[in-house]
Amino acid sequence: MRVHLKTDMDYQTRKIWDVIARIDGNEKDRWVVMGNHRDAWTFGAVDPNSGTTAMLEAARGFGELLKQGWKPRRSILLCSWDGEEYGLLGSTEWAEENAAELRNKAVAYLNVDVAVAGPHFGASSVPSLWKLLQAATRDIRDPKTGKTVFQQWQDRARELRPDPDLVEDAGDNNIQGTEARISALGSGSDYTPFLQHLGVPSLDMGFGGDYGVYHSAFDSFYWMSHFGDPEFVYHVTAAQLWGTIAMRLADAPSLPLNYSDYAAQVREFFNENIKVAKRRNLSGFDETAMTDAVDIFVKEAGRMEKSKEDALAELERVPAGANDRRTHAEARVRRLNDALMATERALTDSQGLRGRPWYKHQIYAPGFYTGYAALPLPDFRQALDDRNSANAKEGLERIIHALNRATDTLHQATD
Ligand SMILES: [Zn+2]
């Protein structure tokens, strides 16, 4: 069959606008950023209006708390992006325009795009946020089963899991300690400029299902109210989860960012890549230097966990009031928090990735050819796929430098 397709493209330049709301915290120079886009391909009941609904509802909750006298420790920013479907335009312009400030102030970026397309929870994030994410899902109820979101998420992953006897390597490398894995961030939504350009710890989450109407004219209120979430109960759950995670990041005295998980994940990524390299008979890169870099990253991450515990215990022991011991304890916590925030930044460099210098993060990026999908340790892995040993060596060196910078950042704070 031959089809003659006539397309009618509209290339006018139009204005887009982002809407940014800010709740000032006591530490005004520390920002927890929530983001969701507002533009849609057509009606966008799922993508992005389910996320926008959740953001508005979380905002309403914050408003109630503010009336009761709550003031977060850190500032919370709620960002409604325009132009996402045209190439993450609104978020990218805003992140680039405010790059210097975000590098200094952003504690984390929490993205929700498709909040609800069904009842099955799923998430992607940097490993430093895994524990926070899992803890929040343990405290919120899945509306359909009455179990916690966490339990339902794990149970479903177990159901779907292929028989370990049939799958090569199944189950022997699940470092997350749970059945349901939190995926790596690639691209396809507004976390990209925050994580991959600026090095802000990021996550993306939502409830999925038999969607099938993605980016089509059927992504409508009719679809949502008949199939996606007829009782709109998962919309409520999404708002609860998002708001809870934002509040914990904003209010915790000690930032809930865990670099032991990060180090373990980098080790796992590297081991997977080494298998690929061996299969392809590629060598010439410094495997030992990488293993050493990961080892000290693991060690410093562990020391950071210990320092956090000590500092928090000290803070609890010393009574509030403007005495020297209190000031000292608070300054210590602040120093550790600053380092925890800076560690993700340290995984970026000014040079960026080969052939695409805008992507500064050396651990996470979408693949050159994979569209949305993540390609962890991007330049090393791409070189292996290209069977280019020289590029593999150079790419790995940049990754090692990034890990060493992250290690130093943790080390200096815990001295
Ligand atoms: Zn979207």
Q: Give me ligand 1 centre to Cα 337, in Å.
A: 32
Query: Does residue 305 carry a catalytic annotation?
Result: no
Q: If we measure between CA atoms, which residue out of 258, 292, 211, 234 comes closest to residue 112?
A: 234
Q: Give me ligand 1 centre to Cα 114, in Å.
A: 6
Query: pLDDT value at position 165?
Result: 63
Average pLDDT over residues 321-327: 80
Q: Give me ligand 1 centre to Cα 49, in Å.
A: 9
Q: Beta-strand (E) ranges in 196-305? A: 202-208
* DSSP H helical ranges for 85-215: 89-97, 99-105, 130-138, 149-160, 191-192
Q: In terms of pTM, does the model score above 0.85?
A: yes
Q: Give me ligand 1 centre to Cα 46, in Å.
A: 8
Between 245 and 315, the more confident residue is 245
Q: Give me ligand 1 centre to Cα 193, in Å.
A: 15
- pLDDT cut 90: percent of the chain above it: 89
pLDDT of residue 167 exceeding 60:
no
Q: Give me ligand 1 centre to Cα 365, in Å.
A: 18
Average pLDDT, the chain: 95
Measure CA 225 to chain center. 29
Q: What is the tens place of the pLDDT at every residue in 101-159?
A: 999 999 999 999 999 999 999 999 999 999 999 999 999 999 999 999 999 999 999 98
Spatial distance between the Cα atoms of 204 and 60, rounded to a whole number of angstroms: 21
Query: pLDDT value at position 171?
Result: 45
pLDDT of residue 47 exceeding 50:
yes
First to last CA, the chain: 71
Q: Give me ligand 1 centre to Cα 205, in Å.
A: 12
Answer yes or no: are the C-beta atoms of 311 and 336 closer than 8 Å.
yes
* Nearby residues for ligand 1 (ion, Cβ within 5 Å): 47-48, 113
Q: Give me ligand 1 centre to Cα 44, in Å.
A: 8
Q: Give me ligand 1 centre to Cα 387, in Å.
A: 35
Average pLDDT over residues 340-346: 98
pLDDT of residue 161 exceeding 90:
no
Spatial distance between the Cα atoms of 150 and 141, rounded to a whole number of angstroms: 8
Spatial distance between the Cα atoms of 262 and 366, rounded to a whole number of angstroms: 18
Read off the pLDDT band of 172 (50, 70, 90).
very low
Q: Give me ligand 1 centre to Cα 87, in Å.
A: 11
Query: pLDDT value at position 370?
Result: 87
- Cis link prior to 48 (omega < 30° from 0)? yes
Q: What is the tens place of the pLDDT at every residue in 250-285?
A: 999 999 999 999 999 999 999 999 999 999 999 999
Residues 6+ apart with CB under 8 A from 180: 153, 154, 156, 157
Please state which of the ranges 292-296, 321-325, 355-359 shows the lowest mean pLDDT. Answer: 321-325
Q: Which of 57, 84, 300, 344 is catalytic?
A: 84
- The token pair at 5 is 């397709």
Rg (CA), the chain: 22
